Amino acid sequence: MKPFNTIEEVWGFLDSIPMFQKSGTSAANFSLEKIRTFCERLGNPQNEYPSIHVAGTNGKGTTCYLLEKVYADAGYKTGLFTSPHLLRYNERVRVNGEEITDAQLVEFFKESAELLQEIQLSYFEISTALAFWFFAKEEVDLAIIETGLGGRLDSTNIVTPEVSVITSIGLDHQNVLGDTFEEIAREKAGIIKKNKPVVLGNISGSPLNEISKVAVNKDAQLYKAERLQPEWKNGVISLNKASVQLKTTFKESINRWNVAMVWKVVDILNAKFKVKEEQLIRSIESFAGAPGRFEKLNPGFEWYFSGSHNAQALESSLSAVEEMKPMQEVVLVFSGMKDKITPEFMEQLQGFKKAYFVEQEGERAAKFENIREFMEAELITENDKEIILNELKTELVIFMGSFYFYPIVKRWTTNVS
């Protein structure tokens, strides 16, 4: 392998590795052996700082970004690792809210060139190792680590966190994680570590039972966000029977659970990482939201993006839309992966005033012909996007389906005036 001297060489190398986005599970490695060996050779950087480990079907991205803000606002040097990236690779790794620079990326790949040739990691494993290395190099006070897929065999699962968080359990990636809620819950529960507390979001019934069994076996104290009795009304999130009221910028009621989990994590870690309650409230109320999660796309129009890629997330986003306007007055612009185009998923997308579909590149991407049997929609292409967007300036528009749709939408909508 040639040494890495420029960022272009780094991008060329990363582009040569199959990505989950385009190739699906064939691009992933569901084993911890390679990442563990690789990080051992790096000196186990993931053990050099405290961390919070977050898994879950939905909500983990928002929870991670909110945790980052809370601890950064409180004066701690934070690391944040998330995936997938939406616009650029550097987004995956942040310190104090700042993305890793191209020069720092080159430094990692230059230092690790021989090791990368010897131990051939997947795209996500490389990203994980990079984050662990960078957080150690930057000497962060606390790292927030988001799982990529599942938990038990996810590349991030070589950390021993101060606290684990499982946000929710839903049916997603069944070909990898299992066909039932119980199987998926067991996979997510794989992040629970011995004698380390775990915080749960909106999880009940048989998934809760499965996670509880793992927690008991690991002597891990279980904390449920429901104990805070989170409630929602028009962006105001109440905790503890309204003894705490938070005026947030959130549009989706599901975020009451993300806020409750963050509140509980802060409480658990308060002995080591002090955050005053008034500071915590300020951080939550001023949080602008995680990118791509019901994000307003353009200040001049009522256009929003929601990366709702499974039934649970879709239900949450559609409820938020209906709080704003009746569905029959809202326009949908949709794109997604073909493995998500099921009759049940598409049934949820009925009832809009008008629907448009956008095809993405890659073998995983759904094509127009895949969705036409489920819904009436018009195809938008690069050639006619400006005409159609101009017609939608006065409409409430929700762009949704897949996080991989986000860069297309941002490019299309950012400079519209």
59's tokens: 């909500």
Distance CA 33, CA 23 (A): 22
Asked if residue 25 has pLDDT above 60, the reply is: no
Q: Residue 52 has which token pair?
A: 């919070």
159: left (phi over 0), alpha (psi -120 to 50) or beta: beta
In this prediction the pTM is 0.90
pLDDT of residue 179: 57
**What CA–CA distances, in Å, run from 2 to 290, 404, 406?**
37, 31, 33
Least Cα distance to 200 among 230, 222, 231, 172 occurs for: 222
Q: In this structure, are residues 225 and 264 in contact, taking their beta carbons and an 8 Å threshold? A: yes
Is pLDDT above 80 for 27? no
CA 112/CA 110 separation, integer angstroms? 6
Burial class (CB in 10 A: 0-12, 13-18, 19+), 134: buried
Residue 11 has pLDDT above 90, yes or no: yes
Q: How confident is the model over 355-367, as a mean pLDDT?
A: 88
Is the torsion defined by CA of 64, 68, 70, 71 positive or negative? positive
CA angle 162, 148, 88 (to 5 degrees): 110
- What is the CB neighbour count within 10 angstroms for residue 9? 16
**Which of 5-14, 136-145, 246-255, 366-375 is the least confident region?**
366-375
Considering the chain, what is the average pLDDT of its residues?
Answer: 90
Amino acid in position 288: A
Residue 275 CA, distance from chain mean position:
24
Q: How far apart are CA 54 and CA 63, in angstroms?
A: 8
Provide the token pair at 92.
Answer: 């995956």
Residue with tokens 């986005």: 21
